[in-house]
Amino acid sequence: MSCKRLVLILLCGSMALTFLLFSSISSDVPQSARIVGSQPDDSLPPRPPAPLHVSQETTRVVISGPLLEEPVGEVDLKELAVGRTPQDEELKRDGYDKYQFNGWLSDKIGERRRIPDTRHKTCPSQFESNLPKASIIICFFNESPTVLLRMVSSILTRTPLSMIEEILLIDDSSEMATAAAAAREAIERREEWRRAKISLHQTPKNEGLIRAKIFGAKMAKGEVLIFLDSHCEVNQHWIEPLLERIKGDRKRFVTPIIDIIDSDDMRYIGSPVCYGGFDWALTFKWDYPPRSALVNETFLISPLKSPTMAGGLFAVDRNTFFEYGGYDDGMDIWGAENVEISFRIWMCGASLEVIPCSRIGHIFRRRRPYGTNQDTMGKNSLRAAVVWLDEYFPKFIEARPHLAATPYGDVTSRIELRQRLQCKPFRWFLQTIYPSLLPGNEPLMTDLQDPLVANEGKYMIRMLNSSLCAWIDSSSSHISPGSRLTLRACTSHRMDTWKWTMNKELRNMGSARMCLDSLVNLSLMKCHNQGSHQEWHYTKDGKIYSAAAKKCVHFSDGKAAPAVMEYCALATQFDILRAQSEWRIRFFIRISDRTDGMKRRILQTTVLRQLTLSARGSLVTDRAGSTVLGEPVAAGRAVVWRTDFDADPDRRLGRQSSWSATCREWKRVQLKMRRFG
């Protein structure tokens, strides 16, 4: 056998041995561990955290490294939701009874699934480095095991490990132990749960959601606390925008947009950008920005100031949370704690924001799982009202009269907290943070005066206690659609003169076909005679009110800015004045040279008396600014005469008029008049 042939045989044998060895190793790995997105097997060694990839073109970094990979493909919910046997229907009913949502379908979905990315397309995917680590606190009571596990799995799939200090699962002494048992087993058997420092804790007794959160917050170690509900699923890049805002200001409380997980078919549905509000019953509600904002891409991804938070989902610096009093531990179970902490945030010097690029889905159940017959929402709301509403407390009792005699516990510590933090009054909160709730924002019918339409007269709209009137801002004498409303000195010029028509329109005399319109930016638009945003009312307290916009005309910065629509309680007050026109009247007095000063005064008095009787005007000043009455009138001297439009000297006196007089020496007085404005 030749040497070449021997080398060839040895080489082939070596390759075959390598192939067999590789095959035997591969066969020991479970098939599921090699499928992208499937649950890793506990026998596999832990996957090392992915490194930070630093961009060379920016100071921001792309942070990768969640503990689980995103599942491949979406779950076919329509197929899974079909009940094929009577047993399926029985299990479905049982799921609703236990969890107040379709627990049977949730079990069929399993612990992991892909959900749609509902963020706006321009939301960032790169974030600041060195963001603070968070303790994620998840409280639960009688929760579905698969819902709880799916919540944790979504965090491990869509959250960089470098941002997780720990995940605290707080079992509020559930009556059903299935969810706690499933979590305990996962902690014991799953490496990724241990690497994320997930721990399970149980309250000594059933405390209710509010005190269970306090229980979890006290044992948390992270720089930031993030409170989440157990029946949620986090979306892509949910945590980074929250941590960025807190890093920028440690006194920010930040909340995500809460998407909807349908309680019946478990669909994940994106929510519009909105923020939190409330009514006088202290019931939380969603408020929505104006339509003009929703077409602005910058607005759709920018942090949004929110008067209140929805409740269970928010992030805050740990020290700030406790400095501001945490949750009120005198409240019971659930309800109104979100509104109370929102008052405290704003009134005591912090801020509350909704972050549109952070999204978390939430199952809105048919009812809360705590089986208590107490009205904890009412009691907690009353407690918050006593501490925070000041002189507006009667508005709360008016909305909830049945709570007037309800005991609400000792609030001494909360009042002392308010004093220690030097919190602002509730009036400040209404005027600055939530003016839409101010009393007087929507005038009653009895508060509206009839529009000033006598003979469709013409008026000036003057800011109360000032000499400034509403003008149309136009760079030329021509008025075009979209012209804005500004303030200038009152002059009875056509640009600051208005006709209040029988249709309750405000038509500027600069263009009789243009009406003041509140739909877009409070501007002049072509009159359409349909009312709506072109219908205006004058209130008894001097506001100009649009029922369509439910707001009033307001100048926020004096003469520097155009008028806007504002809540009526904060809006500018106006006087409505009959418009007047200035006429400069030049007297040409033809008299003999023999007329002396005394006769000139007699002549002047006669002429002015005739003007007063005929034109019903009032003398203002002469050219030099001094009163004319009582002074000799020289030939050709000019004076300024003010008269209203309905007493037009052109119409009443004519361009040239003469009167007879008792003085034989004078022959004729000629008046030449020119209108100003």
CA 69 to chain centre: 36
In a domain, 88, yes or no: yes
Task: State mean pLDDT over 282-289.
Answer: 92
Q: Which of 43, 44, 50, 54 is nearest to 67 (CA)?
A: 50
pTM greater than the 0.75 cutoff:
no
455 and 539 assigned to the same domain: yes
Top mean pLDDT of 62-66, 177-181, 626-630 is at: 177-181
pLDDT band at 341 (very low <50, low <70, confident <90, very high): very high
Higher pLDDT, 196 or 64: 196
Please say if the pLDDT value at position 43 is more than 90: no
Residue 502 lies in a domain: yes
Rg (CA), the chain: 38
Domain boundary among 543, 562, 578: 578
* Average pLDDT rounded to a whole number, residues 309-315: 90
Q: Is residue 501 part of a domain?
A: yes
Of the pLDDT bands very low, low, confident and very high (cuts 50, 70, 90), residue 452 is low
List pLDDT tens digits, range 477-486: 677 788 888 8
Using 50, 70 and 90 to split pLDDT, how confident is the model at 370? low
Q: What angle do CA 340, 343, 344 make, to 5 degrees?
A: 90
Could you tell me what percent of the chain has a pLDDT over 70? 72
Verify that 573 and 449 share a domain, yes or no: yes
Single-letter residue type at 521 = N
For residue 532, the enclosing domain spans: 445-578
- Domain-ending residue, one of 578, 606, 632: 578
Amino acid identity, residue 583?
A: W
pLDDT at position 119 over 60: yes
* Domain presence at residue 593: yes
38-42, 181-185, 212-216, 348-352 — which is least confidently predicted?
38-42
How confident is the model over 65-89, as pLDDT tens digits?
Answer: 688 888 877 888 888 888 888 898 8
State residue 497's pLDDT score: 81
Is residue 100 one of the residues assigned to a domain? yes
Q: How far apart are CA 313 and CA 255, in angstroms?
A: 6
Give the domain-ending residue among 559, 578, 597: 578
In the chain the first and final C-alpha atoms are separated, in Å, by 121
pLDDT tops 50 at residue 658: no
3-state class (DSSP) for residue 328: coil
Q: How confident is the model at residue 475 (pLDDT cuts 50, 70, 90)?
A: low
The verdict on residue 522 lying in a domain is yes
Sheet strands (E) in 6-163: 53-54, 61-62, 134-140
Same domain, 533 and 483: yes
pLDDT band with cut points at 50, 70 and 90 for residue 372: low
| Tens digit of each residue's pLDDT (9 = 90 or more) over 204-234 | 999 999 999 999 999 999 999 999 999 999 9
Measured distance CA(189)–CA(42) in Å, rounded: 7
Taking 60 as the threshold, does the pLDDT of residue 189 lie above it?
yes
Residue 76 CB coordination number (10 Å): 8
Measured distance CA(550)–CA(567) in Å, rounded: 8
Q: Which of 1-15, 398-412, 627-641 bottoms out in mean pLDDT, i.e. has the lowest?
A: 627-641
Same domain for 641 and 572: no
Would 22 be classed as within a structural domain? Answer: no
Could you tell me if 453 and 515 lie in one domain? Answer: yes
Distance of CA 229 to the CA centre of its chain: 23
The tens digit of pLDDT for each residue in 502-537 reads 888 888 887 778 889 988 788 888 888 888 899 988
Domain match, 553 and 535 both: yes
Shared-domain flag, residues 594 and 573:
no
The reply to whether 589 and 534 lie within a common domain is no
Per-residue pLDDT, 170? 96
Under a CB-based contact definition with an 8 Å cutoff, are residues 652 and 603 in contact?
Answer: no
Residues 605 and 661 occupy one common structural domain: yes
CATH number, domain containing residue 551:
2.80.10.50
- Co-location of 555 and 520 in the same domain: yes
CA quadruple 339, 340, 342, 347: dihedral sign: positive
| Structural domains counted in the chain | 3
pLDDT band (50, 70, 90) for residue 149: very high
Which of the four pLDDT bands, split at 50, 70 and 90, describes residue 39? very low
Mean pLDDT for the stretch of residues 100-119: 92
Q: What is the spatial distance between Cα 242 and Cα 358, in angstroms, rounded to a whole number?
A: 7
Q: Is residue 565 part of a domain?
A: yes
**Would the pLDDT of 303 be above 80?**
yes
656: confidence class by pLDDT, cuts 50, 70, 90? very low
Considering the domain architecture, whether residues 663 and 558 belong to the same structural domain is answered as: no
Q: Quick one: 626 and 563 in the same domain?
A: no
Region at 20 (left for phi over 0; alpha for psi -120 to 50; beta for the rest): alpha
Q: Residue 356, SS3? A: strand
Q: Is the pLDDT of residue 20 over 90?
A: no
Residue 633: predicted pLDDT: 39
